[in-house]
Chain A
Amino acid sequence: MPKKYDVIIIGAGIVGSLVARFLSKYQLDILLIEKEANIGMGASSANSAILHAGYDPIPGSNKALTNVMAVEMWPVLSQELGIGYSRCGDYVVAVTAEEVQVLEELLARGQRNGVAEIEIISGTEMRRREPLICPDIVAALWVPSGAIGDPFAATVAAAENAVMNGVELMCGTAFEDFLMEGNQIIGVRTNQGDFHCRWASNAAGLYADEVMHKAGVRPEFIIRPRRGEYVILDQAEFQLTQTTVIFLTPTDKGKGITVSGTLHGNVIVGPNANFVDSKENKDTTTEGLQEIWEGGNTLIPTISRKHIIAQFAGLRATGNAPSPDPALNYNQDFIIEIPNNVSGLVNLGGIESPGFTAAPAIALKVIELLQNAGENLQEKPDWNPVRAPRPVFRNLSREEQAALIAKNPAYGRIICRCEMVTEGEILAEIHAPIPATTYDALKRRTWLGTGRCQGGFDIPRVVAILAEALAKTPEEVTKKGGQSEFLYRSTKAVDQDYLNMEALI
């Protein structure tokens, strides 16, 4: 008799990981599967890191409900999970009279959604608060409950807390199909074999449409990947007067380009929003850079291209699901449901922005759906909601740094000089409850290689550390799993003759 899980969660992004973490509170056997080598490598790894206050979504939509509900969850959740969180507030700024009108609409919408303390301030007041802002600004929407987080750290911490509380995690495990008896899901088929379950939860992000279609659910639902490009500025070269989030007035294309502080200290500029043909197309483009740069420059005229230290792009899982309330006439909502025509599926889909913000509320909705479906969820007496943070060397005082090195000498060796990441931090992630096994996983967890030299200094050192810790050869170490090896062979391991040197002879 094969093991039967109570719940299998498909996809370990921010949504799947938080669903796992909140469900781990109950006496359930849970399996979390992830197709990539490490968790959180999809949409959760590349976005604005903004925790939206909730003035943007259409009142009454799933987006609005979960967004506003989650805003109040993040302060506690970030404490429990030991991750960064800063309620720095955000601004939407207007230059023209039409844009001021949009601010009025946002204000009204925010008030209807229940966003606290939202107000419109004058251009003068805005310039007083952020002297670097464009002098043409005539008004701004000030939203004190806007915040910034770290979506990747949140994903790792949530999944880790889930694993601490008994959830099984399998990376490199790709969903292929559902196992069904009639219209009842009894398991999932993966590239690592079949796993049986009573419930499956679709948290497959960009691929959520394909997953639900396998169960015959919502054949008309399609996710169109919408790419957002970003640039990161060198924190030593450019800082906002105070860490905050500043949006251009939104258009129908997106929330508007942002100049935003981050928990890592860098300022980030972006995103644009363009549909692309592939769910893997995270290319940055010259045109996209131009687009976000123009937006960024409109907000802060003094930013300089010379200060760009990284470019990246992420994909939004933009769906076409109508809101549960047809009166809203809104067709880009989150799907959070147990479908009528299939049993045993908790279906999540179209989780684009504000998905990071809304994720913990979505997790609570999943619990509610299960309870409404008759699941008698019993709390574990020993559930531990706390996942202790690991030391971040650069954030410590001199005394704390000295004490840390005295305790563990590996913290006395810097591997990434720009971001001051130590060998101790890298080893801690490799040996964490959910091990980081690739360069990119280490990069996103420790922030190594994200600074001015973009890995030029640390890559050879990190490859050596990963090889030793994982008992691999350096040629087997990858950037992000798959065929992304850094090295091809040892320098002398070639027995070919002079094919490439004919010109000499």
Chain B
Amino acid sequence: MKRDYDVVVIGSGPGGLAAAIAAKENGAEHVLVIERDVELGGILLQCIHNGFGLELFNEDLPGPAYAQHFIDDVRGHGVETLMDTMVLDITPERTIYAINKGLGYLELRTRAIVLAMGCRERTRAQILLPGSRPAGVYTAGTAQRFVNVEGFMPGEKFVILGSGDIGMIMARRLTIEGAKVERVLEIMPYLTGLTRNYVQCLLDYGIILEKQRTVNRIIGKDRVEAIEAVSVDEAWQPIPGTREVIPCDTLLLSVGLIPENELSKQAGVLLDPVTNGPFVDDRFMTNVPGIFAAGNVVHVYDLVDWVTEAGYVAGKGAAAFARDKHVEPGEHIPLTAGENIRYVVPHKLDKARLAEEQVRLQMRAIAPIEERVLVTVEDQNGEVVAKKAGAYARPGEILTLAIRPQAYELVQKATGLTVNVRRR
């Protein structure tokens, strides 16, 4: 095989596939996608439920169908692919070390890299869940792989901790396959996934959701035999007298996702402690020249459509870098989180970029606002360069807005932009 590429994409989920396609479409000749699983598509392949593609295609597709669209496109564009291959190391000089059963130890050179490793699930240890250590405690995604791809049920009687989308979707999925979901527990006072999923996954099937309630202890020697649930106050402290032992054989955890950046760190990529993903500019380039990042590796998105869009932007940037061996050192201004905003991606903006195209920002609110809101992007003088009205702002749903080319003149005068979300 070849050992020298223009663009190498690591990961073949929606971000990686889009990046590979965009790299090809923007002139990169030799593009390679490296995937650790045996096929392209990433986690979408196990997300068999509908709800993908509404923003980009105005279609309501299951995850595998959404992925297949891009897999076919990657093949059509002549992108090279390496499956069942694990990248072990990346250097800042863009040498990639990877291994594959058939091909052995690989050392590849490339002009640009797109990191698209996605994210991983938070585990029992990260939420410090006490008790015994039996079989039958799974993250929702691992259970999803078993049920939907490997073809096995990891239990018959479930309790699910966390009202994130994957947890609720698994509650429905398990019920359809004949299992019983005893309870969904949510430590927060609000739903952390989408309302649509609450209705169609829990209400439809009569599955009980209890908010401000969590698992206090796991019980069982060999296999989970029960969990002890407890109510918590605003500070997550257990409320006396609210304990209940719920018999079950499996506990599923849907308690959050973390960008997967171990490779990024090896390559010298700096991470934002708030997002746990790389600091990126508006082309999704990291602090290491020629290393780009796209999708959930940057921050955890809630819609795949925006991951795809980010992949396109990163792939285009990578192709340009590969062609010119560098990126014009444009004048970047910082994008910072302002009022009630936890973070903004990208972290900085090339002022000249708006001459070419719009730049999409993704933000997360800190506190929920259940009334009409206005998201604004303001310069150092409080002048608004972009805004968007919304019906509400919730920490569980990403806010997104585009700075349009029309704002070009305003942005040229800016030394920095701040994003805010306020009651209208």
Assess whether B120 is in contact with A457, with CB atoms less than 8 Å apart. Answer: yes
For A489, the chain B residues whose CB sits under 8 A away are 152-153
Interface string of B75-100 (1 = CB under 8 A from A): 00000000010101000000001011
For A496, the chain B residues whose CB sits under 8 A away are 178
Assess whether A412 is in contact with B145, with CB atoms less than 8 Å apart. Answer: no
* Residue of A405, A485, A490 touching B223 (CB-CB under 8 A): A485
Interface string of A467-482 (1 = CB under 8 A from B): 0000000110011111
Complexed CA–CA distance, A100 and B136 (Å): 47
Q: Which residue of A lies closest to B262 (CB)?
A: A236
Instruction: Decide: A283 near B128, CB < 8 A? Known: A413-B84, A460-B145, A503-B206.
Output: no
Instruction: Decide: A414 near B86, CB < 8 A? Known: A483-B223, A484-B222.
Output: yes
Complexed CA–CA distance, A21 and B419 (Å): 68
Assess whether A492 is in contact with B175, with CB atoms less than 8 Å apart. Answer: no
Assess whether B222 is in contact with A490, with CB atoms less than 8 Å apart. Answer: no
8 A Cβ contacts from B140-169 to A: 141-142, 145-148, 150-156
Complexed CA–CA distance, A398 and B121 (Å): 30
Of A126-134, A158-166, A211-219, A309-317, the one with at least 4 CB within 8 A of chain B: A309-317
* Residue of B105, B131, B145, B181 touching A405 (CB-CB under 8 A): B105
B209 to chain A, nearest CB (A): 13
Assess whether A500 is in contact with B135, with CB atoms less than 8 Å apart. Answer: no
Complexed CA–CA distance, A310 and B124 (Å): 8
For A420, the chain B residues whose CB sits under 8 A away are 88
Complexed CA–CA distance, A267 and B171 (Å): 37
8 A Cβ contacts from A355-370 to B: none
Chain B interface, >50% SS class: mixed
For B275, the chain A residues whose CB sits under 8 A away are none
Q: Does B72 contact A (CB under 8 A)?
A: no
Of A56-64, A141-149, A448-456, the one with at least 4 CB within 8 A of chain B: A448-456
Q: Which residue of B lies closest to A486 (CB)?
A: B135
Assess whether A475 is in contact with B152, with CB atoms less than 8 Å apart. Answer: yes
Q: Does B372 contact A (CB under 8 A)?
A: no
Q: Does A87 contact B (CB under 8 A)?
A: no
Complexed CA–CA distance, A418 and B216 (Å): 28
For B223, the chain A residues whose CB sits under 8 A away are 483-485
Instruction: Decide: A289 near B130, CB < 8 A? Known: A460-B142, A487-B152, A500-B175.
Output: yes
Q: Does A409 contact B (CB under 8 A)?
A: yes
Question: How many residues of chain B get a CB closer than 8 Å to chain A's CBs?
Answer: 60
Complexed CA–CA distance, A464 and B99 (Å): 21
Q: Does B139 contact A (CB under 8 A)?
A: yes
Assess whether B135 is in contact with A479, with CB atoms less than 8 Å apart. Answer: yes
For B221, the chain A residues whose CB sits under 8 A away are 280, 482
Assess whether A453 is in contact with B222, with CB atoms less than 8 Å apart. Answer: no
Interface string of A95-113 (1 = CB under 8 A from B): 0000000000000000000
Q: Does B126 contact A (CB under 8 A)?
A: yes
For B84, the chain A residues whose CB sits under 8 A away are 413
* Residue of B99, B145, B154, B204 touching A486 (CB-CB under 8 A): B154
Q: Does B205 contact A (CB under 8 A)?
A: yes
Q: Does B362 contact A (CB under 8 A)?
A: no
Instruction: Decide: A410 near B123, CB < 8 A? Known: A456-B141, A475-B152.
Output: no
Assess whether B135 is in contact with A491, with CB atoms less than 8 Å apart. Answer: no
Q: Which residue of B lies closest to A497 (CB)?
A: B178
A371 to chain B, nearest CB (A): 41
Q: Does B413 contact A (CB under 8 A)?
A: no
For A488, the chain B residues whose CB sits under 8 A away are 152-156, 249
Assess whether A414 is in contact with B99, with CB atoms less than 8 Å apart. Answer: yes
Assess whether A285 is in contact with B130, with CB atoms less than 8 Å apart. Answer: yes
* Residue of A308, A398, A409, A414 touching B102 (CB-CB under 8 A): A409
Assess whether B151 is in contact with A309, with CB atoms less than 8 Å apart. Answer: no
Assess whether A453 is in contact with B121, with CB atoms less than 8 Å apart. Answer: yes
Q: Does B133 contact A (CB under 8 A)?
A: yes
Q: Does B104 contact A (CB under 8 A)?
A: yes
Assess whether A454 is in contact with B101, with CB atoms less than 8 Å apart. Answer: no
Q: Does A501 contact B (CB under 8 A)?
A: yes
Q: Does A274 contact B (CB under 8 A)?
A: no
Assess whether A480 is in contact with B222, with CB atoms less than 8 Å apart. Answer: yes
Q: Which residue of A lies closest to B206 (CB)?
A: A503
Assess whether A401 is in contact with B99, with CB atoms less than 8 Å apart. Answer: yes
Assess whether A501 is in contact with B205, with CB atoms less than 8 Å apart. Answer: yes
Q: Does A504 contact B (CB under 8 A)?
A: yes
Complexed CA–CA distance, A414 and B10 (Å): 15
A237 to chain B, nearest CB (A): 10
Assess whether B178 is in contact with A500, with CB atoms less than 8 Å apart. Answer: yes
Assess whether B131 is in contact with A504, with CB atoms less than 8 Å apart. Answer: no
Assess whether A402 is in contact with B104, with CB atoms less than 8 Å apart. Answer: yes
Interface string of B313-356 (1 = CB under 8 A from A): 00000000000000000000000000000000000000000000
Assess whether A482 is in contact with B97, with CB atoms less than 8 Å apart. Answer: no
Q: Does A417 contact B (CB under 8 A)?
A: yes
Instruction: Decide: A309 near B153, CB < 8 A? Known: A413-B84, A460-B145.
Output: no
Q: Does B177 contact A (CB under 8 A)?
A: yes
B405 to chain A, nearest CB (A): 41
Q: Does B265 contact A (CB under 8 A)?
A: yes
Q: Does B217 contact A (CB under 8 A)?
A: yes
Assess whether B150 is in contact with A474, with CB atoms less than 8 Å apart. Answer: yes
B207 to chain A, nearest CB (A): 8
Q: Does A1 contact B (CB under 8 A)?
A: no
Assess whether A405 is in contact with B104, with CB atoms less than 8 Å apart. Answer: yes
For A286, the chain B residues whose CB sits under 8 A away are 128, 130, 216
A189 to chain B, nearest CB (A): 24
B99 to chain A, nearest CB (A): 5
Complexed CA–CA distance, A412 and B104 (Å): 6
Q: Which residue of B lies closest to A481 (CB)?
A: B222
Assess whether A459 is in contact with B153, with CB atoms less than 8 Å apart. Answer: no
Q: Which residue of B lies closest to A313 (CB)?
A: B133
* Residue of B100, B128, B179 touching A289 (CB-CB under 8 A): B128
* Residue of A411, A454, A487 touching B124 (CB-CB under 8 A): A454
Complexed CA–CA distance, A47 and B123 (Å): 22
Q: Does A282 contact B (CB under 8 A)?
A: yes
Q: Does A406 contact B (CB under 8 A)?
A: yes
Q: Does A284 contact B (CB under 8 A)?
A: yes
Complexed CA–CA distance, A504 and B202 (Å): 11
Q: Does B1 contact A (CB under 8 A)?
A: no
Q: Does A277 contact B (CB under 8 A)?
A: no
Q: Does A181 contact B (CB under 8 A)?
A: no
For A289, the chain B residues whose CB sits under 8 A away are 128, 130
For B146, the chain A residues whose CB sits under 8 A away are 460, 487
Assess whether B222 is in contact with A483, with CB atoms less than 8 Å apart. Answer: yes
Q: Does B274 contact A (CB under 8 A)?
A: no
Assess whether A311 is in contact with B142, with CB atoms less than 8 Å apart. Answer: no
Instruction: Decide: A305 near B128, CB < 8 A? Known: A460-B146, A492-B151.
Output: yes
For B132, the chain A residues whose CB sits under 8 A away are 281-283
Assess whether B135 is in contact with A311, with CB atoms less than 8 Å apart. Answer: no
For B249, the chain A residues whose CB sits under 8 A away are 488
Q: Does A502 contact B (CB under 8 A)?
A: yes
For B104, the chain A residues whose CB sits under 8 A away are 402, 405-406, 409, 412
Complexed CA–CA distance, A225 and B296 (Å): 46
Interface core residue of B138, B154, B175 (most chain A CB under 10 Å): B154
B88 to chain A, nearest CB (A): 7
Q: Does A76 contact B (CB under 8 A)?
A: no
Closest 5 pairs between A and B when the two form their complex, measured CB to CB: A503-B206, A402-B105, A479-B135, A494-B178, A484-B222
A-B contact pairs, 6 of them (CB 8 A): A409-B102, A452-B120, A452-B262, A464-B150, A488-B249, A494-B177
Q: Which residues of B contact A (CB under 8 A)?
A: 36, 84, 86, 88, 97, 99-105, 120-121, 123-126, 128, 130-136, 138-139, 141-142, 145-148, 150-156, 175-181, 203-206, 216-217, 221-223, 249, 262, 265
With A406-B105, A452-B120, A491-B151 given, can you name 4 additional A-B contacts, CB distance below 8 Å? Answer: A401-B99, A414-B88, A459-B142, A500-B175
